[in-house]
Structures are given as C-alpha cells and as structure tokens.
Structure 1
Amino acid sequence: MSTIQSLNADSAWPIYDREGVRALEALLQAKNPNRLMAQAGLATAQLALSIAPHAQRIGVAAGPGHNGGDGLEAAMHLHRWGKKVCVSLMGSVDQLPSDAHAAWQRALSAGVPMALGLPNHGLQDWGPHDLIIDALLGIGAMRPLTKEMMAWVQAINHARAPVLAVDVPTGLNSDSGQFLGPSAASFCIQADHTLTFIAPKPGLFMGHGRDMCGQIWLASLGATASTNGPQPHAWLNPMRPHPIKTHASHKGNYGDVAVIGGEADEHGWGMTGAALLAATSALHAGAGRVILSLLCGQSSNTATADLMQRDWQSLDLEHLHVVCGCGGGASVKQVLPAVLQRAKQLVLDADGLNVLSQTPALQALLRQRANSQATVITPHPLEAARLLQTHTSEVQNNRLEAAQNLMALLQCTVVLKGSGTIIASPGQTPRINTSGNGLLAVGGTGDVLAGLIGARMAQGLTAFDAACTAVAEHGHVADHWPAGQALTASRLARRLR
C-alpha cells in the first residue's frame, strides 16, 4: 500500500520546483521503469476510497497527458474494488503518451466505462455523495487554459461533489501558485483535496494555491531523503517552540526591544498606532523590556504602563534590538542612517522599507550590516516590488525568486509576506510558511509580526530562526482564532505568548 501523508502547518518537508521534481522523477524511473504512473494511480485510488468511502459515483476527468494516465490507473483500481466509476477522457486516445495509453488500455480491459469529452448532461446532478477526480493537467502545464479546458474546469466547479485533484488542481501553476489562465478562481479547479506526488511543489502553498488545493496530501512514490537528487528549492516552515522563561531568569535574559516609528502627519492624523502595535506585540511575546520611541514625541494617550517611552536619539542603539519603520512616515528617513549604522539587531518594516527603496545610500548601509549586525526586512509584495524596481505581479509570479533576489541585493534576512510567506536568508534554504489565513488581512497585523520578530531576536534566536519562528507563530494564532470574534491587530498582539 502506498504511503500517503497529510501536509499541514506542522510539516517540515523539502519543496521542489518543476525542474527539481522532473529530476527526481528521472531518478525514480531509472530504478523502476514504467512504475511511477502505476504507483501514482494506486495512491490516488487509495486516497479517494479513504476520503469518500461511501461515494455513490466516482467520476474521473482524465486529461491528454501523464496526469490523465494517473487518473486512468486510479479508475481501474476503484472499479476493481467495486466502486461505480466513469471516466471522461479529454482529447484523442491516440495522442496519449505511451505510459498513459497503456493505462487507458488496462482500464478499458478491466471494464471501466469511458466516454470522450464531458458527459452530455454535464455534472449538474453530481452531489455530496459522489466524488470527482481532477486528472486533467499536471505540473507541466504553464500556458493559459484552452476554451475546452476552461469548460471542463467550470463544469467540475459547478458540480456539488467533492473534488480530489491529482498532483495539482487544473489551472494552477505548480511553481508560483498563480492561475494559468484569467485571474479568476472560476478558471481553476477548486479542490477539496490535492494529492501531490514525489515531493511538495511551492505553488501549492503560495498565492492562490492556499485557497484552491484544499487539504494537501503527499505520496512520495519512493522518493526519500537518501535519493541522490537535486537540492530542495525550499522547505516548509513548521511550528517551532518559542522560548520558555525559566524560574531563575530575569528581564535581562530576554533582551530589550526598541520600537521606533509613529509619526504625526501635517494634518494632525496620528500614525502612532502602528508603532504601538509592534511594541505591544514584542511585550506580549516576552521581550524583557520594550521601549517605545515615537517620532511624533512622547504621548500619554497611546502608551501603556508596561512600555517605556524614550526619544530615539537617547537610545543606546548598539545594545538594542530595534524595530523601525512602523507608522514612521517621512520622518523615518532622518532616523534610518543612525539606526542602520548602530542598531545591534534590526527589523525594518513598512515606511522604513519605502524610504529604503528610494535611497541607494541607505541600501548600502544596510548591506554593510551583514558583517556583524543582523537585519530582518518584512516587505509585502508592493514594498518588495519597489525595492526590486519591478512590478507586484512579477513578485507574485516568482515569490521565491523575489525573496532570494532581495536577500542577495540587501544581504539580510527577508520575510516576503503574503499567502505563503517566504523567509530567505544568506546561507539558508528558503522556507515557505503554511500557517495563517485570511483573518490576517486587516490593518496592523504586519506591525504585530515585526514586533514579534524583534522579540524573538531579543530572546537569542538568529535573524533567520527568529523570522521562521515568528512567522509560523503569527499564522498559528490566526488559525486558532476563536469563532465569532473579529481578529484585529491589537487582539492578535495580546494573544501572543
């Protein structure tokens, strides 16, 4: 029986892009010629039986390539196990690859009912007690969907039956997590489960992949850590234990965090909230002491009794873990030269990144920190695009590459926020975070993350480990948010431990 494992926020698995998977596939094929499709089909059938043991009907939408062959193999097994199976084959049988054609012959010989094209009546009468297996397109798909393929995708999505996608939902780019066709979910299979083969692919955990894949499963088909293949493209970022305060410790053991930000603009609208959120986050995450340095001056209206307030110019930056930029506005430009040159460790966020993108001299100062001073930057896709002098769409289409390009440009740890946050750091294989959800799409949650990273750095973690730990924890809190309670940034900060 094939080993099938569930991938979740606690998973620590190597991630391979399309080229890496192809290289692993070639190694496995060399050991067991013509066996991979049989193994993939068997694993698909086993998972189908597990997730829908009482399915009245199982429909297999088989595409014109190897993915279709996987579906045909699965149909053969399910039919032999007594399930009511029907295959809808897209394209000509004569044009199937040799291994997929052999799978078609085996399924036909086993008595699996087959039809070319979509059923005449469509899939309108398929419901919750049925199952549809999407075996239309695999990881090789990179071009926009044809009109015929779009019709298949929409028919499956309009059905009320649960969907199991084979390797990757049709319409999703397995490397980027972006849609292959029009930027609309209606042109990508909305799967309830996705069974991916050999190794997890980055696009399943980034961009739209987080919404379209449902529960993700892995059948390695014999690929193991000892397989002499290419190095992983990335790793999934699991939850890690955060520092525990021992009885014999004191506040000095957990570091001092200074949050510099919070400008008041010319119209009197305060921007102190962002800095206060970052400081509150660092405080609740267990930093020994937290100092709030508002660029608009001290304020008794925003600070709490647990936060100290100091003018940033009076700070001993050489001994502080600094979070800079949250709500800093234009004023942060006057602060950054000193912060970049003197701060012991630094988390640079928000307006600090905007100023950085406009000032090459400040970028040079940041690069100089690489020798002895740790830095983490936390851009969202637009901020990353500004720093890389490109467009947001380019960042989103190549999130791993964008994070690594930023890392190389600025010689620091990069946290590229978004669906499937990327953590990249010099000398490290990037991490893709799998915790978190849409509840975090509210103002201020990025400030909370910046403060949390600062606290973890103050508690002794390296910049990379602090970023990985904080990003996973930040998402974990959102994943376990109480039902019926709105997630706000201030509530999020107070739930940190």
Structure 2
Amino acid sequence: MHRLDLTLPHLLHGIDASRHIEHAAAASLPAHTLMRRAGVATARLAMALAPHSHCIWIACGPGNNGGDGFEAALELARGGRPIVVTFEGDAARLPADARDALGRLQAAGISIAAEAPRHFDLAVDALLGLGASRAPEGRMLDHLRCMHASGAPVLAIDLPSGLNADTGRSAIDLGNAGRTQRHCLSLLTVKPGLFTAHGRDLAGTVWFDDLGADRTGTPPDARLPGRPTPALRAHDSHKGSFGDVAVIGGAPGMTGAGWLAATAALHAGAGRVFVGLLDNDAPSPAADHALMRRAPQSLALERMAVVCGCGGGTAVEGMLPEVLARARSLVLDADGLNAIAREDAWRSLLKARAQAQQVTVLTPHPLEAARLLGTDTGAVQADRLAAATQLARDLCCTVVLKGSGSVIASVDDTPSINPTGNARLATGGTGDVLAGMVGSALASGLEPHRAACEAVWWHGAAADGWPADRPFSASLLARQAGIALARPA
C-alpha cells in the first residue's frame, strides 16, 4: 500500500474492468481473502493518518464496501485503537464476504453502535463502493454529511460514497471540499473517476493497494500520463530546430487572447511565434519583442503549427476554411470551435484533415464540447471520458476536454486524465495559454496525443507550483510556461 505518485504513469480501470480483475483474483484465493486484505490495508492507513487517535469511526454500508469496513474495524481493535462502528444495512442481506466479516467482528466482542460518535479523530467511509446502484440517502447521507462537516480527516475505502468510478460524478453534494482533509484508498485497481469531475475534490489524496491481484491482462479504460521528461536541446541547434507557431485570433475587443496564446507558445519553447491578429487596427504590446506580427493571410500555414480561435469572435470565420485546408498542424480553441459547431461544411473540412495526414488538436471547455456534440454541458460533465472520446472519433482528431481532471482523447489512443492543476486556472485567459502551449508542443514535432498530454501537464503544474503569496493571472502564467518545463521532478 502506498500513496499514488502522480508524477508516474498509472493504468486506470473502471467498474467492469475492476470487477473482472476482482473475480479473477478471488477465484484463485481462499474465500474472503481479498476482503481481509482490504481490511488490513485500510487499518494500516488509518493508523498512519491518525496515530494518536482517541476515536476512529468506521461507518459501514450494506455491501462489500461495508465488509471492508468491518475487517478494518477488527484490525484496528486488535491493534488497541479505540473505535466506533456503525452499520447502515440489513445483516441478513449482506453479500457472503461481508456477512463473514460482520460475524468475525461480532465474535470478537465488538458491537455495532446505534449512533455516530459525537467526536472522532478520523472517519472511515465504508458505506458505498464500486457496486453501489443508488445514491446515499437517509441516515447514510446524514453520516456522510456529518463526517465531511466535522473537520476530522475522512478516509474512503476504494471510492468516496456516491462517486461513480467510471465518470467521477457524485450523486450527492457534500459542500466545500476544503473543509475536510480527504483520503481515498483505492483497492485492486486505480479508478478513473478519482481524477476527473468531482473525483479530485472528493477523493483528496489517493492511496493504492492492489491486494496482490494481477491486473496485467485487463486493458485499461484510461491512463494517468505521468510527468513528462523535458526534451534535451542540442547545443548545435537554432530557432528553426523547434518549429514555428502562428496564432490567428484576437478580433476587435479580444486581442489579448491572441497575445496570451502567442506569449505562452514562445515561453514554452517554440522557435518562432507569429501573431496574426484579426483586428488590423489593434496596437502591438511592447511586452515581448520576440513575437512577430503578420497579416493572417500572409502566413505560411503549411509550414507552421497554427493556433486558431483564441479571441476570434465571428471574425475568425473568414480565415477558418483556409486554416483548415492549409495548416500543417492545428490547435482549434474557443471561437474556432464554436464556428465548427455552427457550420457542417467546416466540420467536414476538419474531418478531412486526418485523411490528409494533417494533425489537429481541439481544446474545448465543457460548453464548447457540448456544442460540438449537439448536447448540453450536463451531458458532457456526466461522463467526461465518454464525451471526449466520442468527440475525438466524430471529428478524427485529438481532444483536450478541459476541466478538473482534463481528459485527452484520440482516435487510436487510450484516453489520458491529467492530474495537475487547481482552481487558480479558473480565470479568464488560461485556456488561451494552454492553446499556445499545445501549439508549441506540436511545432516541436511531438505526435498530437503526446503533445496535448505534455502541454496540459505543464500548464497545470505551473498553477500547482505557484507561490501562495504571489498574484496569479493568465498573463503571468503565459510567461511561466518554460519555467514549468525546467522544474525538477
């Protein structure tokens, strides 16, 4: 059992794959072995999280997750730790493993409390797990609210109760994620839902124990990509060695978006960056003389990685057909995406790029993705992995679905979920910065899925490493793109 190191790559298995692995492991072991191993692992972690506790509350539910809780309670009691065990369920309807665990608990003289303790130093959430088919309600929901409002650490066994292991959507709202220190011990497999949508807030720090099960024969549903290794630059190189980026955007009143994308591309390592503003009369800021302004129509798109749409408004529509036809590699963002959603002919041009061996990366936020898919934001957020994968297949490109746990999906790759980033990025302009960083990665010659994964990782890592006493803005972030790449692991 160990804390999951998010700088390393990890395979993620959803509900069906996890059940397959569990059934295969259980078939090769004596009865109840996996549950007892889960109890030992949970107890070990609980003792590490609350080494001087006066009370550990283990809240057990009606299924095998509750059985894991019973086994953990038994181990904690054997270790001399003061515990209170509550049970929301019907003992007669427990699955066989959980019924055995409850019997062992009762045989050890440990009683089930009628009420939750008033004071506790750690709460263990063993209410609902992988097999849950309903949202927590009644006393179960009251217990969850109690533990998450207490200020004491909460340790969820396998999954936070109510969280979908595939999608990261929670069936309940437990309020401000910052009030409680949260931990999750993922068992047998690491689940994708822990890292996207509501998962990151509810799971908190993720720990993992494979319980001795073999996962090698089961294909993953997604991956954590791991920290990229910055490419070493040869001494014998020049600006042409690292590619050209052209940014086409910045309609009247929105030129800042174009400059942000261009600044980020430059600081992320592009050899040269050209700015094709859609507002011909806009002045050029003096902040970065290395950025070269050009008329959009004059750019040699066939030789460039093009970032199109940042602050483009409806003005970008005049350039979009040419960009789709000519750009060697392309990042479509913001108003470029909205234009594609409105016009079927441009959607066809976008799909044709794949047949012409032209690389495309889309960087939608959930509303932009919903427009492209002909649905609404709620449907996209309900299953972010599925939405990103469908969009990648529909449009024959790589998709970065932005948000908590950004999803990177391509036609022929296992989806990746990015574990970096925080709420600092929830401010205007940070998406433009990301688009520029993806453009720089494409210009360097990386294939699209890897380029997107690396850019998204460093974009989030820059926010994670931001000094708490330093103001944050997209303009400052754009100038940190290269610094993030240089940080040691």
| Smaller-chain TM-score bracket | over 0.9
Moved more, 378-387 or 154-163: 154-163
Give the structure 2 partner of residue 221 of structure 1: 211
Aligned to 1:134: 125
Q: Is this contact kept in 2: 1:169–1:189, CA < 8 A?
A: no
TM-score (norm 1): 0.93
Q: What's the counterpart of residue 176 of structure 1?
A: 167
In 2, Cα distance between the equivalents of 1:242 and 1:424?
22
Of residues 261, 270, 274 in structure 2, which corresponds to 1:287?
A: 270
| 1:191 Cα deviation after fit | 5.7
Aligned counterpart, 1:359 = 343
Q: Which residue of 2 aligns with 1:318?
A: 302
Output aligned runs, 1:301-450, within 5 Å. 301-302=284-285, 304-371=288-355, 372-450=357-435
Residue by residue over 1:90-123, the C-alpha shift from the partner in whole angstroms, topping out at 9 and shown as x without a partner, is 12322221111110111122232322x423xxx4
Letter in 1 for 2:354: A
1:246-282 deviations in Å (ceiling 9; x for gaps): 2211000000000000001xxxxx2000000000000
Q: In the alignment, what sits opposite 1:26?
A: 23
TM-score (normalised: structure 2): 0.95
Output the CA distance in 2 between the equivalents of 1:255 and 1:275.
Answer: 19
Query: Which residue does 2:94 correspond to in 1?
Result: 96
**Which deviates more, 74-83 or 342-351?**
74-83
Q: Which of the numbers 169, 193, 210 marks the counterpart of 1:203?
A: 193
Q: Which moved more, 1:484-493 or 1:351-360?
A: 484-493
CA, structure 1 residues 152+225, in 2 after alignment: closer, same or farther (shift >3 Å)? closer
Using the TM superposition, give the Cα deviation of residue 184 of structure 1 relative to its aligned residue in structure 2, in angstroms: 5.2
Distance 1:450 1:434 in 2: 18
Residue aligning to 2:149: 158
The residue aligned with 2:229 is 241
Q: What is the distance in 1 between the residues matched to 2:133 and 2:477?
A: 38
Residues 76 and 433 (structure 1), Cα distance of their counterparts in 2 relative to 1, 3 Å cut: same
Report SS of the residue matched to 2:32: coil
| C-alpha deviation, 1:200, in angstroms | 1.1
1:460–1:298 Cα change, 3 Å: farther
Cα distance, 1:190 vs structure 2: 5.7
Indicate if the aligned counterparts of 2:9 and 2:224 stay in contact, CA closer than 8 A: yes
Shift in Å at residue 125 of structure 1?
2.7
Aligned match for 2:115, one of 112, 115, 118? 118
Deviation at 1:79, TM superposition (A): 0.7
- 1:211 match: secondary structure: helix
Name the counterpart of 1:484.
469
Residue 272 in 1 paired to residue 260 in 2? no
The answer (yes or no) to whether the contact 1:153–1:189 under 8 Å persists in 2 is no
Q: 1:382-406 CA deviation, whole Å, 9 max, x = no partner? A: 0000000011111001100000100
Gap regions ≥5 residues in structure 1? 265-269
Aligned partners of 1:444 and 1:186: how far apart in 2? 25
Helix, strand or coil at the partner of 2:283: coil
Shift of 1:189: 11
Equivalent in the alignment of 2:485? none
Give, in angstroms, the shift of residue 488 of structure 1.
0.5
Distance of 2:174 and 2:374 partners within structure 1? 27
User: Does structure 2 retain, via aligned residues, the 8 Å contact 1:191–1:213?
Assistant: no
Gaps of 5+ in 2: 483-489
Partner residue of 2:64?
66
1:78 alignment counterpart: 76
Q: CA deviation at 1:187?
A: 11
How big is the shift at 1:489? 0.4
1:307-360 CA-to-partner distances (Å, cap 9, x unmatched) read 101111111111111000000000111111000000000000000000000011
Bigger mean CA offset, 183-192 vs 245-254: 183-192
Partners of 2:261 and 2:434 within 8 A in 1: yes
1:251 aligns with 2:239: yes
1:247 match: secondary structure? coil
Partner residue, 1:267 = none
Matched pairs, number: 479
Partner AA of 1:206 in structure 2: T
CA 1:241 to 1:188, structure 2 compared with 1: closer, same or farther past 3 Å? closer
Query: Letter of the aligned partner of 2:43 in structure 1?
Result: A
Quote how far apart the aligned CAs of 1:89 are. Answer: 1.3
CA contact under 8 A between 1:298 and 1:310: conserved in structure 2?
Answer: no
Is 1:456–2:441 an aligned residue pair? yes
Give the Cα–Cα distance (whole angstroms) in 2 for the partners of residues 184 and 134 of structure 1. 13
CA contact (8 A) 1:42 1:74 kept: yes
- In the alignment, the residues of structure 2 paired with residue 490 and residue 388 of structure 1 have an alpha-carbon distance, to the nearest angstrom, of 31
The amino acid of 1:331's aligned partner reads A
Q: Could you say which residue in structure 2 is the equivalent of 1:149? A: 140
| One-letter identity of the residue aligned with 2:443 | A
Distance 1:20 1:478 in 2: 33
Equivalent-residue separation in structure 2 for 1:235 and 1:405 (angstroms)? 17
Q: Percent identity?
A: 48
SS of 1:118's equivalent in the other structure is coil
Alignment partner, residue 260 of structure 1: 248
Shift of 1:186: 7.5
Partner amino acid for 1:375?
Answer: T
CA RMSD, Structure 1 to Structure 2 (Å): 1.7
| Preserved CA contact (<8 Å) 1:153 1:186 | no
CA distance in 2, matches of 1:406, 1:366: 12
Is 1:261–1:328's contact at 8 Å kept on the other side of the alignment? yes
Q: State the 1:152 CA deviation.
A: 1.4
C-alpha displacement at 1:147, in angstroms?
A: 2.2
Structure 2 distance, partners of 1:34, 1:420, is 35
Question: Greater CA deviation, 96-105 or 374-383?
Answer: 96-105
Q: State the Cα deviation string for residues 421-452 of structure 1 (Å, max 9, x = none).
A: 00011211000110001111000000000000
Q: 1:187 to 1:449 in 2, by over 3 A?
A: closer
Question: Once the two structures are superposed, what CA deviation does each residue of 1:128-152 show, in whole Å capped at 9, x if it has no partner?
Answer: xx21111111022242322222111
Letter of the 1:209 counterpart: G
Distance 2:85 2:137 in 1: 20
Structure 1: distance between partners of 2:345 and 2:332 = 16
Which range moves more in the overlay, 186-195 or 144-153?
Answer: 186-195
